[in-house]
Amino acid sequence: MISVNAGLKKLNPGIWWTRYNRPRQQLDAPLLSRNEILKLRAQVEQQSGSADYRHEVEHRTLGDARSVYRGYGMDYDESRPYFPGDELRFMNWRVTARTGEPHMKVFREERKPGVFIVVDRRQDMRFGTRCRLKVTQAVRAAAVMAFDARLRNAPVAGVLLESAQKSKLSWIAESFDEAGVFNFIHAANKPCPPPVSAQLTPPVSDIHEESLSHVIKLLTPMLAQGSSVILISDFHDLDDSCRSSLLELSMTHHLQAIHIIDPVEVELPECGNLLVPSQKKSRPLIGIDSSNNNSSSQYHKLASTFLESKQQLFRSLAIPCQTVMTDDDRIEQIVET
């Protein structure tokens, strides 16, 4: 006979929080402490490298990436006829001598692409069995990407997906200085307590969440061409129906994904009878005997198939996707910036 209370104590994220993360009286505390954020900043500064931009950049900030604009850059693009007022230092004397008409050199300008970070803070991310919650690891990854962007003088912006009754999306305005980067990190790092309903029963309908697919569709028309877009999530609601919107976004932007996974989502620990939430309304909880080899083997097979489907979706679209476990401490070495 499976004990409901025992199962919930082991698998319910609302109760796990107190055991694996911080005391219950600190549920309103930020996900990361000030020292943890500053440590991440120092680690990123130690191993910052150069970036490789695949798309022409539409952003207005001067930088080292080839832009869509033509003007006084470093890369020669073409020649055009002379117009009154043009600077003679850019005269193309060879073409002028060959055609007999004055021609000017036109260069491709270099710009700095903006960095846009999508951080998933929804209910499924408020779960963890090793060291930290998935949402905490997502904030750590976002901080690494934001600090790296700042070191490259790239503007940073983003959006937070929330579980709330009012605001489901929190848009973070683009910033060009270090203060703006810290504002973004602090916004992503704000307290993220488990929903009240998660402490006793599976999620109920009063928790409203925006789908990741909807957010991806919003980004394509609103971002300047050539932006670096980072998706940080467990991608639990991402499937083949999102293929077209992902492809459209990756065609004009440098898109990469960071897949946050908890170890228990890969391998079921041996800890007796467990209760796990179900998608079926008629049967909200399913019992699993983790000590049974057949149950554990079937769980591992189904979990691997589910996680592989996420990776396969990104591979089929040539979108880089990195897997990050919640117990990975050296996040700055794992995440490719």
Residue of 186, 180, 191, 189 lying closest to 157 (CA atoms): 180
Which token pair is 195? 């929903």
| Consecutive H or E run containing 163 | strand 163-164
The model's pLDDT over 56-69, given as tens digits with 9 standing for 90+, comes to 444 444 444 444 44
Joined together, the tokens standing for residue 136 give 């905490």
Residue 31 corresponds to which tokens in the numbers above? 């996900």
What is the per-residue pLDDT for 49? 56
The DSSP bridge pattern shows strands 169-175 and 156-161 to be: antiparallel
pLDDT of residue 4: 35
Q: Are strands 285-289 and 273-277 parallel, antiparallel or unpaired?
A: antiparallel
Domain ranges across the chain = 4-56+113-334, 62-111
Residue 79 pLDDT: 83
The per-residue pLDDT for range 83-138, each reduced to its tens digit, is 888 888 888 888 999 999 999 888 765 556 789 999 999 988 988 888 899 999 99
pLDDT tens track for 13-44? 443 333 444 444 466 789 999 999 999 999 99
Report the candidate in 248, 252, 260 with the shortest Cα–Cα distance to residue 317. Answer: 248
Per-residue pLDDT tens digits for 222-265: 888 888 999 999 999 998 889 999 999 999 899 999 999 999 88
Q: Note the pLDDT tens digit of each residue in 268-318.
A: 887 777 777 666 667 777 777 778 888 888 888 988 999 999 999 999 999
**pLDDT of 158 above 80:** yes
pLDDT at 109: 59
Strand, helix or coil for residue 294:
helix
Q: Which two tokens stand for residue 113?
A: 């692409």
Secondary-structure class of domain 4-56+113-334 per CATH: alpha beta
According to the model, what pLDDT value does residue 257 have?
96
Mean pLDDT of 73-90: 78
The pLDDT of residue 104 is 86
Written as one string, the DSSP assignment of 116-152 is EEEEE-SGGGS--SBSB-HHHHHHHHHHHHHHHHHHT
What is the predicted pLDDT for the residue at 113? 77
pLDDT tens digits, 181-211: 999 999 999 998 775 544 444 444 455 678 8
